[in-house]
């Protein structure tokens, strides 16, 4: 059959051209009809004058010295503007006691000389149905979190970029008698969800380009060196580290933390990209889905501990991790009512293990999947975990001793069940013990 061609009149083409030319003006008029912060002396003045409204932030730089406070019902900010916080002792945006607040499309940053801070980029406290979407937070280098969700319900953090969130700091553990030391470290957290329920953390990118674990950075900042310690050694620190006045664990912080063992619940961490983190995902919560994330070049891919129960870890990619890729273990916050287990590890791919930037710190005596006993003798054992359909893939000589580590002893993990996995063996084999079916 011959192809048929539509005859289009010149008048139709001319009308179509006029419509296409007019479209940018239509969209510009639509934004102009929105309430805009440009009509006010500051963003905060615009929010104060228009409570319970979403305000448009036009393109351009908005320099602030005090945090922007958002309160009320369906309040928020959206638009292509860039907010620059010049005060290193203030968050950039604080949202508190707000219902259905939204922050969309903005860029938040700090200028040269003010990038290091103790404060957040976005701090949300006691909010319901909060949305943080397509926001870029750049160079908010803090021991705290860049985006922190605290005591919130049904919050959503989606499609955001957090870049360069870490700083050189001191991790002071002297107040904890179980530890009793302080040391130089790199620290910082990209996204932190604490004391919250029903949270969705989806499609975000958390990337650190500034502080990567090189020998030069370690030497420059004396990372790992103790700066203080108590008169008596803490019960859960080993004697060798105490005598050496040094710890290899000077990469602190995590890209994404779900934290508060007996309070955080019903959390989804889905489809995020994490690059160059210390720890990729740090889970201390119940009823968590960790799925479709890519975690590359972290010294720890993820861990779930301190009473993390019913955690589903499925369909993730762990690339170039150095200490372990997936770890489950009890922690000091675990107890008889708050125990670890009832979890599933399925259909994950662990590749290029031991080829990350931190390999020079940890060496080849590690394992891609690690199960462990608790930090304290009375920590209840990890119990009832299904491990199925996972692949540990190695090209060339492995840079790990065993693919899986399972400790022994009275508090050893119980009820581990392995099936349909493909684990390339390490230099000493697949596992330090027989894998239970």
Instruction: Please write the tens of the pLDDT for every residue from 195-226.
Output: 999 999 999 999 999 999 999 999 999 999 99
Residues in the chain, total: 437
* pLDDT at position 30 over 50: no
* Strand-pair partners of 378: none
- Return the percentage of the chain with pLDDT > 70, whole number: 92
How many C-beta neighbours within 10 Å does residue 126 have?
Answer: 14
Say which DSSP state 305 is in. Answer: -
Question: Does residue 99 have a pLDDT over 60?
Answer: yes
Q: Please, which pLDDT band fits residue 5 given cuts at 50, 70 and 90?
A: very low
The pair of three-digit structure tokens given for residue 142, joined into one six-digit string: 């803090």
> Would you state the pLDDT for residue 313?
98
Q: Which has the higher per-residue pLDDT, 236 or 44? A: 44
Give me the mean pLDDT over the 321-336 stretch: 88
Residue 164 pLDDT class (50, 70, 90 cuts): very high
Please provide the average confidence, as pLDDT, over all residues in the chain.
92
pLDDT for the residue 8? 55
* DSSP state at residue 422: E
From CA 64, how far away is CA 61, in angstroms rounded?
Answer: 10
Residue 7 pLDDT exceeds 70: no
Please report the pLDDT score of residue 375 as a whole number: 73
pLDDT exceeds 60 at position 2: no
Question: Which of residues 1 and 176 earns the better pLDDT score?
Answer: 176
Angle formed at CA 158 by CA 156 and CA 164, multiple of 5 degrees: 120
Q: What is the pLDDT of residue 21?
A: 53
Give the lowest-confidence range in 73-82, 330-339, 381-390. 330-339
Q: How far apart are CA 106 and CA 61, in angstroms?
A: 11
> Averaged over 46-53, what is the pLDDT?
97
336 pLDDT band, cuts 50/70/90, is confident
**pLDDT (tens digit, 9 = 90+) per residue, 350-365?**
999 999 999 999 999 9
Written as six digits, the tokens of 166 are 């870490």
Percent of the chain scoring above 90 in pLDDT: 84
In this model, does residue 230 exceed pLDDT 70? Answer: yes
- Predicted pLDDT at 29: 39
Q: CA 222 → CA 183, 184, 253, 416, distances in Å? A: 9, 7, 18, 41
CA distance 125 to 261: 18
Distance CA 307, CA 297 (A): 26
pLDDT band, very low/low/confident/very high, at 143 (cuts 50, 70, 90): confident
Residue 169 near residue 186 (C-beta atoms within 8 A): yes
Q: For residue 221, what are its two tokens? A: 């900042």
For residues 122-145, average pLDDT: 97
* Burial of 239: CB neighbours in 10 Å, binned 0-12, 13-18, 19+: exposed
pTM: 0.90
Q: What is the pLDDT of residue 317?
A: 98
Does residue 16 carry a pLDDT above 70?
no
């Amino acid at each position: 059959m011959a192809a048929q061609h539509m005859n289009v009149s010149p008048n139709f083409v001319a009308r179509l051209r006029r419509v296409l030319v007019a479209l940018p003006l239509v969209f510009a008029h639509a934004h102009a009809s929105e309430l805009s912060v440009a009509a006010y002396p500051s963003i905060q003045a615009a929010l104060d004058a228009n409570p319970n409204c979403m305000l448009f932030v036009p393109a351009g730089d908005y320099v602030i010295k005090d945090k922007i406070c958002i309160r009320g019902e369906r309040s928020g900010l959206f638009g292509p503007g860039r907010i620059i916080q010049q005060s290193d002792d203030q968050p950039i945006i604080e949202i508190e006691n707000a219902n259905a607040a939204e922050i969309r499309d903005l860029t938040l940053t700090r200028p040269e000389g003010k990038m290091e801070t103790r404060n957040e980029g976005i701090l949300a406290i006691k909010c319901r149905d909060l949305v943080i979407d397509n926001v870029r937070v750049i160079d908010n280098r803090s021991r705290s979190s860049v985006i922190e969700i605290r005591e919130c319900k049904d919050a959503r953090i989606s499609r955001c970029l957090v870049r360069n969130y870490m700083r050189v700091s001191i991790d002071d553990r002297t107040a904890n008698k179980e530890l009793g030391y302080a040391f130089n470290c790199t620290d910082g957290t990209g996204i932190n969800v604490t004391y919250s329920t029903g949270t969705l953390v989806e499609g975000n990118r958390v990337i650190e380009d500034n502080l990567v674990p090189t020998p030069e950075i370690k030497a420059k900042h004396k990372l790992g060196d103790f700066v203080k310690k108590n008169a008596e050694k803490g019960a859960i620190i080993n004697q060798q580290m105490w005598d050496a006045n040094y710890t290899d664990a000077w990469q602190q912080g995590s890209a994404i933390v779900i934290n508060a063992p007996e309070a955080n619940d019903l959390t989804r961490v889905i489809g995020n990209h994490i690059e160059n983190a210390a720890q990729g995902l740090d889970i201390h919560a119940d009823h968590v889905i960790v799925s479709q994330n890519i975690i590359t070049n972290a010294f720890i891919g993820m861990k779930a501990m301190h009473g993390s129960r019913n955690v589903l870890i499925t369909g993730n990619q762990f690339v170039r991790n150095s200490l372990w890729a997936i770890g489950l273990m009890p922690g000091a916050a675990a107890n008889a009512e708050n125990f670890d287990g009832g979890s599933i590890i399925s259909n994950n791919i662990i590749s290029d293990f031991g080829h990350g930037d931190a390999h020079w710190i940890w060496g080849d005596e590690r394992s891609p999947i690690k199960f462990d006993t608790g930090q304290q003798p009375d920590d209840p054992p990890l119990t009832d975990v299904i491990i199925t359909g996972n692949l540990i893939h190695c090209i060339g000589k492995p840079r790990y001793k065993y693919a899986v580590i399972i400790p022994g002893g009275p508090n050893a993990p119980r009820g581990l069940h392995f099936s349909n996995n493909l684990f390339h063996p390490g230099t000493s084999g697949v596992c330090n013990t027989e894998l239970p079916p």
